[in-house]
Amino acid sequence: MYQIKAKIIANKKITSQYYNLVVDAPQIAKFAKPGQFINVQISEGYEPFLRKPFSIYRIGPPKVKQKSKIELLYKIVGKGTNILSQKKSGECIDIIGPLGNGFILPPERKKNQKQKSGIILIGGGIGVVPLLFLAECLMNFRSFVVSVLIGIKNKKESLLTCNFDKLNCQVKIATEDGSIGSKGLVTDLLKEELKVGRSSSLFMTYSCGPSLMLKEIAKITEKDKIPAQVCLEEYMACGIGSCLGCAVKIKSEDFPGFKYVRVCKEGPIFDAKQVIWDE
C-alpha cells in the first residue's frame, strides 16, 4: 500500500455525469490487481473530510509491461465527485492504494485446451468499473470464454459498456427502459445465460453493482452451484481497516454463526455464499 501525490494525466468528461481520470502512479500500478481500489483525497481542506474510494478501471499504458498509470471511471453523485471532476491535467492528487483484496482469478488453463470454460462477469451501472480490469486479465492471459452482462438504466449509460466490446468479450446489455439491449434486469440475462452455459463448462461468475443485484446473483448462483465472487461497494470512512465503518456480516462456523469483516480490508471481494445479505 502506497500513499502518493499522483499527477493527473487526464480528467475527461465522457457524459454530463461520467468522468475518466488517469493518474501517474507507477508504485500503485505495479502491484494493482482487478477488484482493488484506491482512496482519493479530494481536497486539501475539510470538504469533503473523508477520502473517497474508487475501483481501479484499468492500468496502463496498454501493451507496455511496466505499468505506471491508473485509470478510474467515476460518476458524479455528490460534493466529492463534483470537486474531483474539476481537477485539471498537471494537478496532483493524494491517493492511497492499491487497497482491498481483489478478485481471485481462476486457475490458469492451457491456451490450446479444447473445451474452453465460460466465465460470466455481471455489472450493474457504475459497478462495471472493476470488471473491465478483470476482463482484460482474463482475455489476455487465460483461455476462457468471457461473457459480460451489463445492467444500465438506459442508452445514455452505454459508455459503461463500450470498452468491453473492444476486448472481444461477448457483451449483453439489459436496460430498464429497453432503449438498448433487452428490456429488464441484468439478473434476467444471467438466468438465460446459465441455461446455455450449463451445456458447456461454466465455472465462475464475478459481479459488482447495487447490493440488491448482488443478493439476487448470490441466490441464482447458489441454486446452480456456481462459484460467485461479488464486489461490495460499501460506504467507507478510513478505507484502510482502522475505523470498522464498512463492516458487513459474513457466515462463520463459530458461534453465533456469523462474524463481521471490513469491506475495505478483508474485501471488497467476497464469496457470494458467505455474505449475509440484508433481509
Ligand X SMILES: Cc1cc2nc3c(=O)[nH]c(=O)nc-3n(C[C@H](O)[C@H](O)[C@H](O)COP(=O)(O)OP(=O)(O)OC[C@H]3O[C@@H](n4cnc5c(N)ncnc54)[C@H](O)[C@@H]3O)c2cc1C
**C-beta of 50: minimal distance to ligand X in Å?**
8
Using left for φ > 0, alpha for ψ between -120 and 50, and beta otherwise, residue 266 falls in alpha
Could you give the angle at the alpha carbon of 143 between the alpha carbons of 138 and 147, nearest 5°?
Answer: 55
What three-state secondary structure class fits 45? coil
Determine the interface stretch with ligand FES among 71-79, 129-137, 194-202, 238-246 (rule: CB under 6 A): 238-246
Phi, psi of 42 (to 5 degrees): -75, -40
Determine the interface stretch with ligand X among 51-59, 87-95, 134-142, 159-167 (rule: CB under 6 A): 51-59
**C-beta of 241: minimal distance to ligand FES in Å?**
5
Q: Which residues contact 248 (CB under 8 A, 6 or more apart)?
A: 232, 234, 260, 261, 263, 267, 275, 276
Report whether 124 contacts 213 (CB < 8 A): yes
Residues in contact with ligand X, shown as a per-residue x/- string from 70 to 99 under the rule CB under 6 A? --xxxx-xxxxx------------------
243 in contact with ligand FES (CB under 6 A): yes
Parallel, antiparallel, or unpaired for β 2-13 and 18-24? antiparallel
52 in contact with ligand X (CB under 6 A): yes
Between 196 and 212, name the residue whose CB sits nearer to ligand X. 212
Between 253 and 278, name the residue whose CB sits nearer to ligand FES. 278
- List 42, 160, 246, 261, residue binding ligand FES (CB under 6 A): 246
215 in contact with ligand X (CB under 6 A): no
Picked from ligand FES, ligand X, none, the partner binding residue 241 (CB below 5 to 8 A depending on kind) is ligand FES
Report whether 2 contacts 57 (CB < 8 A): no
Q: Which residues contact 121 (CB under 8 A, 6 or more apart)?
A: 131, 134, 135, 146, 147, 148, 149, 169, 205, 206, 207
Cell of 187: 439478473
Residues in contact with ligand FES, shown as a per-residue x/- string from 194 to 233 under the rule CB under 6 A? ----------------------------------------
Footprint of ligand FES (CB under 6 A): 236-239, 241-246, 262, 264
